[in-house]
Structure 1
Amino acid sequence: MIEIKNKQIIMDGQPKLIMSGEIHYYRLQKEEWQDRLDKLKAAGCNAVATYIPWIIHEPQDGIFDLNGHTRPELNLAEYIDLCHENELYFIARPGPFIMAEMKNDGIPHWVYEKHPEIIPVGWDGKKATTPTLDYLAPGFLQEVKVWYEKVMKVIQPRLYQHDGNIIAVQLDNEIGMLSWVSNTPDLTDFVIDAFIGWLDNRYGKMELNKRYPFIRQKADHYRQAIRSPKEAYTLELHRDLGHYMRHRFTKYVQTLRQYAEENGVLDIPFIVNIHGTGGGRGFTYPIGISQLYESYTQADGYLSGSDHYFGDISGSILN
C-alpha cells in the first residue's frame, strides 16, 4: 500500500525516498530502452517516469496502438515490464494533456475536428494564441473517458499492490497553464453558461444584479457581456472568473480520478502537476499554485508536484 503522510511517501508502512528520471519510451527505438534504463540507474535513480501520449497511441478515432503493432516502441506494457525487471518503480503520466513539446500538447488532431465546440473562445471572441480545450466540455470528456479506459487496462494490473511497479499516476499536466501564458481565458459557451450558474449560487439576486448589470436570462446577451466586459464590472468579473476556474479545475481533476478508479486504478497517489516554479518556493510563478491548490487539497490521495528550475548548477559548483 502507498500512502502520503507528513510529506513522506509511505510504502508498506515504511518511508521511501523516490528518485525518478524521465525516459520517454516513444521517443526511442525499442532496442535503446535498456541502455537508457542502465544510465538512469547509474545516476542513482530508483524510478522512471514517462508521459503516455494520447496523440501517438490513438492517432485516428477509435484506432489504438498500445501494444506496438504499428511501431515497436509503442508497446507500453513491455516498457513498464522492462522497468520492473530493472527494479525500477514507475510513474505513469497519461494526460490527456502532456505538453512535452508535442503537437497539440498530446491531444489527437481528430478530437478538435470532431468536437469544434470545445475549442476556447477568449476575450472579444478572439482565438487564443496558445489554444487549449474546454476541460469539462462533454464532447472532450467523452473522448478522454475512452482513452482512460484503454490506457488503464495496461496500468491497472501493473500497480504496486498487484506486485507491479507502478506507484503513482499523474492526472493531466500543468492544468490551466496554457490559458495563463496566452492571457486568454476559456470562454466557450459551455464555460460561460456554467459560470453564470455558479454566480447565481454564489451571490444573492440583489447583490448579483448590482455586481453585473446585464441580463442573465438571455444566453446571447450574457455571453457577449462576459466576453467583452464593460469597465464598470471588469474587476469583479476577473476576480470571480479566477475563483470559478479554480472550482472548474478541481472538478476536472476529480473527473479524471473517477475515470481511473472506475478502471481499477486505486490505492496509489494521484499526482497534480503545478506548472513551473522557481526561486525556491514558487515565487516566480505563484499563479499555478493559486489555480490548482483546491485541486490537490480536495481529498486524500492527491500528491502535488512541480518543475523546479535550478539555474546554472555547474557555475554554482565551480564557484
Structure 2
Amino acid sequence: MEKKIDLTASEMGYLWTVYQSLTMNICILKYYSHTLEDDEVRELNSKSLSECEKVLGELVDIFEKDGFPIPVGFSDSDVNTNAAKLYTDPFILYYQWFVHKGNLNYASIALNTIARDDVVALFSTLLTGALKLLNESRKLLLDKGLWIRSPYIPIPKKVTFVEKQSFLNGWIGEQRPLVGQEISANFYNIVSNQIGFELMNSFIQVIADGDLKRYIERGKEIASKHVNAMSKIFIDAELPVPSTWSGTHTDSRENPFSEKLILNMISYLNAQGIANYGMAISNSIRRDVSTTFSRLAAEVGKYAEDGTNLLIEKGWFESPPQASK
C-alpha cells in the first residue's frame, strides 16, 4: 500500500495563504476583464486569470484529498464586475507586473521549505506561470513606454577592495556613494509604495466615511511619506528619483470590491511591504540607508497590526492553520 504523507505545518501555511491570495486576485482580474479597453492588456489579464484558476484548481484538489476544510477566501460576492471603470489600462498593466512579481517571490520562498511532491508541483506551477507572465508584463510595459527604469551608474573600470571602515558610514564622516544593491532596493521600494499609494487613493474615492476609510487614508499618508524618505536618499546621492504616475484611476465613485476584500488586500500589501524592506535592509551596507529601511518597516508593522485588529473587529479575519494547544 502507498503510504500517505501528511501535510506539514509549512505546507499547510503556504497552501492556505495562496488560496486566500488566488481567490482575491481572481475577483480583481474578473473586474479588470470587464473594464479593459487595450487589447494587449486584456489578453495578458485573461492569461493571468486562467493561470490563477488553474493553480486554484490544483490547490482545491490537494485540500479535498487531505480532508482539509476549504477556506472561505473570496468569491463573486466580493466583486461587482458591472461597476464602472475605476482603473486606467496602464495602471492595470502595472498591477499585473506587481502581482506576478509577488507570486514569483512567494513561490520561490515556499519551495525552500516544502517536501511533498504534489505541493512542490503546485508551487512549481505557480512559479513558472508567474515568471512567464512577469516577463510578458515587463515587455508590454517596455513596448508601451511605461516601464520605469532605475538610475544608471558607471561600469567599474577595475576590481577593487574596500580598505576603510568608513565604507559603512552614513551620517558622520566620509560618506561613500550608494552601491548598486542599495540603489536597486531603494528604487524598487519607491515603485512599490507608489503602487500602494495609488490603490489607497482609489479605495478612498469609492468607500463611504467610516473607520475603514480613515484607516486607508492613514495608509495613503504612510506610503507618501515613505516615498519621500526614499526619494531623499536618491536626491542626497544626486541620483534621479523615479517618476510618479498620473491618471491611474478614473473619477468613478462606484466601488467594485467588497470592503472585506479591500481591507484584506491592504493586509497583503503590508506583508509584502515589510518583506521588501527586510530584503532592502539585508542589501544595504551604509548605516543610514539600512536604518531608514528599518524605521520604515517598523511603521508598516504597526499599521499592519492595526489593520489586523480592524479585520478581527469586523469578523473578516479568517484563521490560518495553527498548532495544537
Q: TM-score higher than 0.5 here? A: no
Higher relative contact order (CA 8 A, sep 6+): 2
User: Which is richer in strand?
Assistant: 1
If the length of structure 2 is used for normalisation, what is the TM-score? 0.29
